[in-house]
Structure 1
Amino acid sequence: MKYKALFLILPLITLSIHANAQKYRTAAGPRIESDRVGISIQQKVHERGTLEGIAALGEREYSGTLLYEWHFPILGERFNYYLGAGAHVGNLKDHGVFTGADALLGIEYKVNGLPFLLSADIKPAFHLNHEDWVHLSSGVSIRYVIVKEKKKKNSIWPFGNNEGDDKKKKKRRNEKDEDSTPSIFDILKGNNN
């Protein structure tokens, strides 16, 4: 029975991947992890990708993390899951500077009608020069949308708007208009159409 439900849900998720995954360009806000607090800033870099910077402060350490995240819609454009990878650097009391790599798996919801994003994630970290080689934390973020996504115009064309074709057509029209304007030589020759 579990496998039947999986086979029904998987096509729905796959079909929804073509939609825009995020409804914002830039968002920032507090992040609360299992053993730290911090600030999260997220910037959209392309249709499904964001960069997220996290500054975190714990009882014995502080760190900065930069992650690249891939977003995939679950049910519509406002609710999606994301996968990420990146690196961090920080300072641990009594041990000094440490570095490492991070992975991320989370879900995100853009609140309808309000400029807020709610997200929850699991973030394993692998450290160099730290007491713990591996650290698994979970986090919750509430981000305020600083820059909204621009609305796209709907098209009756099934493959979306092709702005490049529109620009080419406009350029051709302008060139045609310029060609139809007689030059001074045409006027002198009497070849005015």
Structure 2
Amino acid sequence: MKTLLRITFVLAVTLSVSVGAQAQSGYTTGIGLRGGVASGLTIKHFIKSDAAIEGIISTNFRHRGAVITVLYEKHAQAFNARGLQWYYGIGGHVGFHDGRHYYDRDHKHYYDDRVVALGIDGVLGLEYYIRDIPFTIGADIKPYINIPSGGGFWDSALHVRYVF
């Protein structure tokens, strides 16, 4: 848990100190909630007008643990609609799970140790910036592969962010 707090602190400091250009969407940084199979906190910071870094701290109750994900995302206007953007990206994650709930899908074996999962993530999403209340709402699909245990998975989620 101390490692999780350290990584969270470093991520927050890095994103808050970064100086980026004003994004095409009209905001520089957004902080909010992500709800899906893996739910948690999300922060997105634009480093260029069409590129952002997103950090996600999430939990998956099925695997009883926490995951920290960092994504590099490219943004572009969607459907010629003002404030609507689609984005795609790639990144990685590190997760800390209870071994019994992470490995044992059929409840045939018990693992008492903690599991550290590393992996590669992708993301494809759509986001709308509501200028009047400064919030964004969006949805995305985030496929990922866990390297130690193998296998491919995906997570879909809705998110809401306060932007500034």
TM bucket normalised to smaller:
0.7 to 0.9
Q: Deviations over 1:118-142 (max 9, x none)?
A: 0100000011123x62111101100
* Bigger fraction of residues in strand: 2
**Contact in 2 for aligned 1:52/1:68 (Cα 8 Å):** yes
**What is the Cα deviation at residue 58 of structure 1?**
1.1
**Contact in 2 for aligned 1:21/1:80 (Cα 8 Å):** no
- The residue number in structure 2 matching 1:127 is 146
Residue 160 of structure 2, aligned match among 139, 142, 145 = 142
**What is the Cα deviation at residue 71 of structure 1?**
0.4
Provide the C-alpha distance between the structure 1 equivalents of 2:24 and 2:120, rounded to a whole number of angstroms.
Answer: 25
What is the identity, as a one-letter code, of the residue corresponding to 1:29?
G
Q: Which runs of 5+ in 1 are unaligned?
A: 1-19, 148-193
Q: Percent identity?
A: 30
**Contact in 2 for aligned 1:63/1:88 (Cα 8 Å):** yes
Residue 48 of structure 1, aligned match among 47, 50, 53 = 50
**What is the Cα deviation at residue 62 of structure 1?**
1.1
* Bigger fraction of residues in helix: 1
What is the identity, as a one-letter code, of the residue corresponding to 1:22?
S
Matches within 5 A, 1:55-94: 55-59=57-61, 60=63, 61-74=65-78, 75-94=80-99
What is the identity, as a one-letter code, of the residue corresponding to 1:40?
T
Instruction: Describe the SS at the equivalent of 1:22.
Output: coil
Provide the C-alpha distance between the structure 1 equivalents of 2:133 and 2:40, rounded to a whole number of angstroms.
Answer: 23
- The residue number in structure 2 matching 1:24 is 27
Greater length-normalized contact order (CA 8 Å, ≥ 6 residues apart): 2
Provide the C-alpha distance between the structure 2 equivalents of 1:141 and 1:116, rounded to a whole number of angstroms.
Answer: 10
Residue 96 of structure 1, aligned match among 112, 115, 123 = 115
- The residue number in structure 1 matching 2:125 is 106
Provide the C-alpha distance between the structure 2 equivalents of 1:128 and 1:119, rounded to a whole number of angstroms.
Answer: 28
Instruction: Describe the SS at the equivalent of 1:24.
Output: coil
Q: With the length of structure 1 as denominator, give the TM-score of the two structures.
A: 0.62
What is the identity, as a one-letter code, of the residue corresponding to 1:85?
I
Provide the C-alpha distance between the structure 2 equivalents of 1:123 and 1:97, rounded to a whole number of angstroms.
Answer: 20
Q: Deviations over 1:50-105 (max 9, x none)?
A: 00000001112210000000000012440010011000001121151010000000
Q: Deviations over 1:152-182 (max 9, x none)?
A: xxxxxxxxxxxxxxxxxxxxxxxxxxxxxxx
**What is the Cα deviation at residue 39 of structure 1?**
0.4
**Contact in 2 for aligned 1:29/1:142 (Cα 8 Å):** yes
**Superposition CA RMSD, Å:** 1.4
Q: Which runs of 5+ in 2 are unaligned?
A: 1-22, 100-113
What is the identity, as a one-letter code, of the residue corresponding to 1:120?
A
Q: With the length of structure 2 as denominator, give the TM-score of the two structures.
A: 0.72
- The residue number in structure 2 matching 1:154 is none
Equivalenced residue count is 125
Q: Highest Rg: 1 or 2?
A: 1
What is the identity, as a one-letter code, of the residue corresponding to 1:91?
F
